[in-house]
């Protein structure tokens, strides 16, 4: 009896895992399609969609735009979000709780409602299609992720270490630099990674505030999907998937090494 | 030997110090003078103000009123990192991302000490606590006792004139605690630094200290050597907090130079009388009381109270008896090895000389705080 | 009474005194830059949306009257909630056994199961939706498999079931992770205890385990439902004219018809629905599962 229900559970989990992985399993083979079609399974094999991605200015420009915006967002949101995390966890419990609830609202506000609001403001302030506009909007969207990541590591950080450092002769800034920051660094770095990905992958607000002069990669992908069945999208998806995997695996390995020592 | 240089310890002078948090008074008008090089223990139950006092000296919290001088200089308003005081915490507080060596080098780096000088001082400090072989380990690879020794080295490596310890052995088991107590005593002797030690464990206080300040309810009840506190406590609280004791209560009359107390229908005579109109109680130390068969071995002038043995405990080095007296009071008596054996429910007399009892003013709050 | 109260207070004060130096009253101000960013790019824009919904083209509640009087709008609003409910239900059905399996398997299988939950995040969101277009289309993978099995193909692309499948795949991790994190903390010895007291295995599971896992279920369900309400890209690409959701309608009003007032009114309805749901669900999510953890 128990083994039967275990087998049933195993089969069910396999189906759920397939559902979860299906898009990835489809996109990677598609990127090597020999034909210009989005039919699956792909026909033939070629690198042409990768070549197209690296040679077509539409793709390369939007990629570098996204990279620039996401890098700036990662830095700005990480600094602002980390400060906010300190504010939240060191304020009185009630104030901190309220502040936290306030700062994570961007996660629950429906994307399109936010997008039309930001679009309206940007039309008035001429921020549509500007790097500043993108950075501002994406920083707002990324702050909750940084806040959550940094707060998690602040929660396990032992505040008594700061008192100890102070008794040994370290001033406030030195305490932060030599004790607090090194110990919460994993949280700060994963916050930065989340911020980067949030910006790099953001599409809804981007669709509204984009302009022919400044397109980000998700916007380019979206227009490409709606305009024609261009397998370059699959190549881009695969490249980003590999890049993300490498960064995360590197991060995990680094974390494991820190954990060992 | 390899110990850091003997440095002159700093004196501490606390006058009329209070610490208030809003309407709540954590520390009420205390006076405390600690001599250079002294081992002073702040002893008291949890919440008695001893840790608040330590925090004031360390600079972790500000004084509300009164003065605090360290080494003859007022430190009011001086932040903790500028006070140059070593502090050892109950939970070690070693930096988990630094090796033992880096932890101990940390205060030296902050003071601009570099290179060979720093290495030599780190090694000397680790030698002193017998942890030199562990310099390249991380704190999470050490046992609690080892971590606390490293913490001690880190707090002493910069030769502070004053070392504060906040229940440093509280998280360790008994055997390790007793061994480390002797280590701490040895280091104190070698260095000549002033040590201020906070604990709620009166035995630990007696083992370590030159003098002990007993805290209760935000005040200091008495300051003195262990012997002074044990033999002549100033208050009932101190008498009961230090060592074992039996408290006799009853109606008291003063006749000439003696106080006569009637407890459970029997009379007890005490020499002397209390000043003022305070209600007296009698405090008995277990080893000053003898257990005798009723009516036997009478010594002239001794007090005798009859009761029954409620509990007899064999301790190896002797025996301990609890005797229920006529009014229900439990008297604690220690019998030496080889003394006559008594069994539970035996009727016995407890006998003690008037010069061996301690007459104190009654204080109901002592019961509340101690139970 | 007061003496013991004072004592408790005193030792609490002793403990917090250590931290007091590092708990300056001004700590809240560290959050000021974040709050400023939110004011400028979140509060102000949303304020504009609300403002326009009441003032564009004329001052009043005309836009809301229009919204609720139109049968089409009411249908879309209802459909948005129905889709969110379906996505939440399907996610829950998939997530609960999956999360449970994660707690009972060995270390390596657990790692594999966790990877399956996280890997979808590594694929760009828009690309993921494209993959679902390929999977669901009439000549797509799913229909090929059905044909291969000798079954008749089904219409999935541009239908509500297609939209639900795509959204479920995207939102499933948000259901699995909270449920797993609660289940991980449940002491399974409680199940053994219940069985030793005479409960049948299924009864023990339903009466002991399921109630203890509910905080995770509530948290996952509310996150998935709320995110579903605001979904835009997936329904826009996978859905058809008969499966339009509210977000697409908002986008259409503003970008195509340039009708900020009506689009704003729709947005406000969506926003209010989201926050009302959050407020209602907050007490459920605050439940902690401490009772089972103590003994562990």
Burial of A210 (0-12, 13-18, 19+ CB in 10 A): buried
Distance, C-alpha B354 to centroid of its chain: 28
Give bridge partners of residue B74 from the DSSP assignment. B69
Domain locations in chain B as residue ranges: 12-240, 244-370
SS3 assignment, position C7: helix
Question: What's the CA gap between B156 and C290, in Å, rounded?
Answer: 42
Selecting from C49, C122, C172 the residue whose C-beta is nearest the C-beta of A113 gives C49
Selecting from B80, B94, B96 the residue whose C-beta is nearest the C-beta of A166 gives B80
Which residues form the domain of C270? 62-290
Question: What's the CA gap between C216 and C175, in Å, rounded?
Answer: 8
DSSP state, C208? I
Question: C interface mutation test: which of B55, B80, B83, B166 has the most C CBs within 10 A?
Answer: B55
- Answer whether residue C39 is part of any domain: no
Sign of CA dihedral C165, C171, C173, C176: negative
Which residues of chain B neighbour C14 with C-beta distances below 8 Å? 26, 46-47, 49, 51-52, 55
pLDDT of C14 higher than 80: no
- Answer whether residue C51 is part of any domain: no
- Residue B179 contacts residue B144 (beta carbons within 8 Å): no
Question: How many interface pairs between B and C have CB atoms less than 8 angstroms apart?
Answer: 56
- Residue B125 contacts residue B131 (beta carbons within 8 Å): no
Q: Which chain C residue has its CA at the smallest distance from B81's CA?
A: C21
Question: What's the CA gap between C172 and C193, in Å, rounded?
Answer: 33
- Residue B345 contacts residue B308 (beta carbons within 8 Å): yes
Selecting from A161, A164, A169 the residue whose C-beta is nearest the C-beta of B110 gives A169
Peptide bond preceding C57: is omega within 30 degrees of 0, i.e. cis?
yes
**CB spacing of A183 vs B96 below 8 angstroms:** yes
- Answer whether residue C41 is part of any domain: no
- Answer whether residue C279 is part of any domain: yes
Q: In tens digits, what is the pLDDT along chain B, a chain of 371 residues?
A: 344 455 678 999 999 999 988 888 899 999 999 999 999 999 999 889 999 999 999 999 889 999 999 999 999 889 999 999 999 998 999 999 999 999 999 999 999 999 999 999 999 999 999 999 999 999 999 999 999 999 999 999 999 999 999 999 988 888 999 999 999 999 999 998 999 999 999 999 999 999 999 999 999 999 999 999 999 999 999 999 998 899 998 888 888 888 889 888 888 888 888 877 788 899 999 888 988 888 888 888 889 999 999 988 888 878 888 999 988 888 998 876 555 678 888 888 999 998 889 989 988 777 655 54
Sign of CA dihedral C258, C259, C263, C268: positive
Question: What's the CA gap between C273 and A109, in Å, rounded?
Answer: 10
More confident residue, C154 or C282: C154
Q: Which chain C residue has its CA at the smallest distance from A29's CA?
A: C131
Q: What one-character-per-residue DSSP string does A57-111 give?
A: HHHHHHHHHHHHHHHHHHHHHHHHHHHHHHHHHHS-HHHHHHHHHHHTGGGTS-H
- Residue A33 contacts residue A231 (beta carbons within 8 Å): yes
Q: What average pLDDT does the segment C13-29 reach?
A: 57
Question: What's the CA gap between C169 and C100, in Å, rounded?
Answer: 19
- CATH fold for domain B244-370: OB fold (Dihydrolipoamide Acetyltransferase, E2P) (2.40.50)
In angstroms, the Cα distances linking A212 to A58, A103, A216, B248, C233 are: 10, 32, 10, 96, 20
User: Which class in CATH covers the domain with range B12-240?
Assistant: alpha beta
In angstroms, the Cα distances linking C96 to B125, B217, C127, C172, C217 are: 57, 54, 27, 10, 8
Single out the residue of B202, B194, B205 nearest to residue B155, CA to CA: B194
Does pTM top 0.90 for this prediction? no
pLDDT band, residue A132 (cuts 50/70/90):
very high
Give bridge partners of residue B199 from the DSSP assignment. B43
Backbone angles phi, psi at B27, to 5 degrees: -140, 125
- Count of structural domains, chain C: 1
pLDDT of residue C204: 84
Question: What's the CA gap between B110 and A168, in Å, rounded?
Answer: 8
pLDDT of C230 higher than 80: yes
Single out the residue of C47, C83, C22 nearest to residue C248, CA to CA: C83
Structure tokens at B263: 């407890």
- Answer whether residue C14 is part of any domain: no
Superfamily (CATH) of domain A57-260 = MetI-like (1.10.3720.10)
- Answer whether residue C169 is part of any domain: yes
DSSP state, B89? -
Structure tokens at B204: 């630990």
- Residue B251 contacts residue B258 (beta carbons within 8 Å): no
CA distance C5 to chain B (A): 10
pLDDT of C4 higher than 60: no
CB atoms within 10 A of CB A217: 26
B368–chain C Cβ distance below 8 A for any pair: yes
C2–chain B Cβ distance below 8 A for any pair: no
- Residue C222 contacts residue C284 (beta carbons within 8 Å): yes
Q: Which chain B residue has its CA at the smallest distance from C24's CA?
A: B61
Q: Cβ contacts of residue B157 below 8 Å, gap of 6+?
A: B4, B104, B105, B107, B108, B121, B122, B124, B125
- Residue C154 contacts residue C146 (beta carbons within 8 Å): yes
CA distance A213 to chain C (A): 18
Question: C interface mutation test: which of B18, B19, B21, B90 has the most C CBs within 10 A?
Answer: B21
pLDDT of residue A2: 59
Single out the residue of C246, C244, C239 nearest to residue C155, CA to CA: C239
pLDDT of residue C243: 87
pLDDT of residue C284: 76
Nearest-10 crossing angle of helices C107-122, A2-30? 30
User: Which chains have 3+ CB pairs within 8 A of A?
Assistant: B, C
pLDDT band, residue C19 (cuts 50/70/90):
very low
Burial of B301 (0-12, 13-18, 19+ CB in 10 A): exposed
| pLDDT over 90, % of chain A | 77
B121–chain A Cβ distance below 8 A for any pair: no
pLDDT of residue C196: 84
Backbone angles phi, psi at C213, to 5 degrees: -90, -5
Selecting from C122, C127, C132 the residue whose C-beta is nearest the C-beta of A233 gives C127
- Answer whether residue C54 is part of any domain: no
Residue C113 maps to which CATH number? Answer: 1.10.3720.10
In angstroms, the Cα distances linking C39 to A78, B170, B352, C150 are: 18, 49, 80, 58
pLDDT of residue C249: 92
- Residue C127 contacts residue A240 (beta carbons within 8 Å): yes
Element housing B247 (H / E)? strand B246-248
Regarding beta strands B12-21 and B65-70, do their DSSP bridges make them parallel or antiparallel, or are they unpaired?
A: antiparallel
Q: What average pLDDT does the segment C66-91 reach?
A: 95
pLDDT of residue B345: 86
* pLDDT tens string C107-153: 999 999 999 999 988 888 899 998 998 899 888 888 888 888 888 88
pLDDT of C2 higher than 60: no
Backbone angles phi, psi at B311, to 5 degrees: -155, 135
pLDDT of residue C242: 86
Q: What average pLDDT does the segment A126-144 reach?
A: 97
Question: What's the CA gap between B180 and B188, in Å, rounded?
Answer: 12
- Residue A110 contacts residue C247 (beta carbons within 8 Å): yes
B151–chain C Cβ distance below 8 A for any pair: no
Structure tokens at A226: 């709606």
More confident residue, C294 or C181: C181
Domain locations in chain A as residue ranges: 57-260
ipTM of the modeled complex: 0.90
More confident residue, B316 or C223: C223
In angstroms, the Cα distances linking C113 to A208, C87, C103, C107, C117 are: 37, 21, 10, 10, 7
């Amino acid at each position: 009896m128990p083994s039967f229900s275990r087998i049933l559970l195993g089969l069910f989990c396999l189906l759920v895992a397939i559902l979860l992985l299906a898009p990835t399993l489809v996109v990677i083979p598609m990127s090597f399609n020999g034909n210009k079609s989005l039919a699956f399974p792909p026909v033939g094999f070629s690198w042409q969609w990768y070549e197209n991605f690296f040679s077509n200015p539409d793709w390369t420009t939007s990629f570098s735009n996204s990279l620039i915006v996401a890098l700036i967002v990662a830095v700005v949101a990480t600094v602002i979000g980390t400060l906010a995390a300190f504010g939240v966890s060191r304020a009185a419990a009630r104030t901190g709780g309220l502040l936290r609830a306030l700062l994570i609202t961007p996660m629950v506000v429906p994307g399109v409602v936010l997008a039309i609001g930001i679009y309206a403001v940007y039309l008035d302030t001429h921020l549509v299609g500007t790097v500043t506009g993108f950075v501002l909007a994406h920083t707002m969207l990324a702050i909750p992720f940084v806040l959550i990541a940094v707060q998690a590591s602040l929660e396990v950080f032992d505040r008594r270490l700061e008192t100890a450092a102070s008794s040994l002769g370290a001033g406030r800034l030195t305490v932060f630099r030599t004790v607090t920051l090194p110990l919460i660094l994993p949280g700060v770095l994963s916050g930065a990674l989340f911020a980067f990905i949030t910006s790099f992958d953001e599409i809804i607000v981007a669709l509204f505030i984009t302009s022919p002069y400044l397109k980000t990669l998700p916007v380019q992908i979206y227009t490409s999907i709606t305009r024609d069945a261009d397998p370059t999208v699959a190549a881009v998806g695969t490249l980003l998937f590999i890049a993300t995997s490498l960064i995360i695996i590197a991060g995990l390995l680094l974390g494991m090494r820190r954990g060992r020592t | 030997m390899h110990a850091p240089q003997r440095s002159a310890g700093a004196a501490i002078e606390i006058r009329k110090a209070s610490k208030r948090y809003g309407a709540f008074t954590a520390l009420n008008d205390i006076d405390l003078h600690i001599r250079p090089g002294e081992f002073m223990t702040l002893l008291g139950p949890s919440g008695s103000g001893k840790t608040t006092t330590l925090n004031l000296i360390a600079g972790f919290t500000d004084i509300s009123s009164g003065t605090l001088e360290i080494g003859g200089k007022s430190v009011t308003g001086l932040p903790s990192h500028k006070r140059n005081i070593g502090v050892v915490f109950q939970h070690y507080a070693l930096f988990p991302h630094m090796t033992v060596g880096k932890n101990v080098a940390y205060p030296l780096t902050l003071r601009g000490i570099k290179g060979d000088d720093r290495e030599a001082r780190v090694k000397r400090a680790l030698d002193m606590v017998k942890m030199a072989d562990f310099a390249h380990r991380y704190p999470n690879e050490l046992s609690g006792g080892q971590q606390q020794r490293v913490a001690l080295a880190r707090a002493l490596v910069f030769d502070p004139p004053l070392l504060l310890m906040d229940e440093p052995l509280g998280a360790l088991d008994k055997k390790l605690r007793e061994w480390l107590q002797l280590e701490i005593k040895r280091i104190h002797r070698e260095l000549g630094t002033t040590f201020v030690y906070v604990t709620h464990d009166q035995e630990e206080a007696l083992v370590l200290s030159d003098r002990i300040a007993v805290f209760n309810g935000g005040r200091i009840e008495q300051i003195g050597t262990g012997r002074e506190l044990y033999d002549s406590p100033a208050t009932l609280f101190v008498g009961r907090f230090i060592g074992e004791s039996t408290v006799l209560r009853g109606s008291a009359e003063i006749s000439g130079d003696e106080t006569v107390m009637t407890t459970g229908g029997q009379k007890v005579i005490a020499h002397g009388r209390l000043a003022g109109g305070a209600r007296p109680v009698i405090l008995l130390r277990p080893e000053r009381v003898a257990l005798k068969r009723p009516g036997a071995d009478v010594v002239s002038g001794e007090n005798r109270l009859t009761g029954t043995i409620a509990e007899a405990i064999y301790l190896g080095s002797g025996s301990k008896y609890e005797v229920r007296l006529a009014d229900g009071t439990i008297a604690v008596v220690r019998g030496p090895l080889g003394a006559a054996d008594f069994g539970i429910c035996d009727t016995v007399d407890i006998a003690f000389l008037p010069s061996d009892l301690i007459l104190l003013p009654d204080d109901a709050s002592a019961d509340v705080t101690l139970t | 009474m007061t003496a013991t109260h004072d004592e408790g207070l005193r030792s609490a004060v002793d403990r917090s005194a250590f931290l007091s130096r590092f708990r300056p009253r001004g700590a809240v101000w560290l959050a000021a830059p974040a709050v400023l960013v939110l004011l400028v790019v979140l509060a102000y824009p949303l304020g504009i949306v609300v403002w326009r919904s009441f003032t564009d083209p004329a001052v009043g509640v005309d836009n809301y009257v229009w919204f609720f009087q139109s049968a089409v709008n009411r249908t879309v609003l209802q459909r948005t909630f129905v889709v969110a409910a379906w996505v939440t239900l399907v996610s829950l059905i998939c997530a609960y056994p999956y999360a449970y399996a994660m707690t009972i398997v060995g270390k390596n299988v657990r790692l594999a199961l966790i990877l399956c939950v996280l890997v979808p995040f590594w694929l760009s969101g828009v690309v993921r939706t494209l993959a679902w277009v390929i999977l669901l289309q009439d000549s797509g993978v799913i229909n090929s498999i059905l044909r291969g099995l000798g079954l008749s193909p089904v219409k999935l692309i541009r239908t509500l079931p297609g939209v639900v499948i795509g959204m479920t795949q995207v939102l499933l991790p948000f259901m699995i992770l909270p449920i797993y994190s609660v289940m991980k903390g449940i002491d399974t010895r409680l199940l053994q205890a219940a069985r030793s007291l005479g409960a049948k295995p299924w009864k023990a599971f339903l009466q002991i385990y399921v109630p203890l896992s509910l905080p995770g279920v509530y948290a996952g369900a509310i996150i998935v439902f709320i995110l579903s309400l605001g979904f835009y890209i997936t329904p826009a690409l996978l859905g058809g004219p008969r499966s339009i959701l509210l977000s697409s309608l908002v986008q259409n009003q503003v970008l195509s018809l340039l009708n900020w007032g009506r689009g704003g009114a729709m947005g406000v309805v969506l926003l209010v629905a989201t926050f009302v749901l959050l407020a209602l669900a907050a007490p459920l999510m605050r439940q902690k599962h401490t009772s089972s953890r103590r003994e562990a």
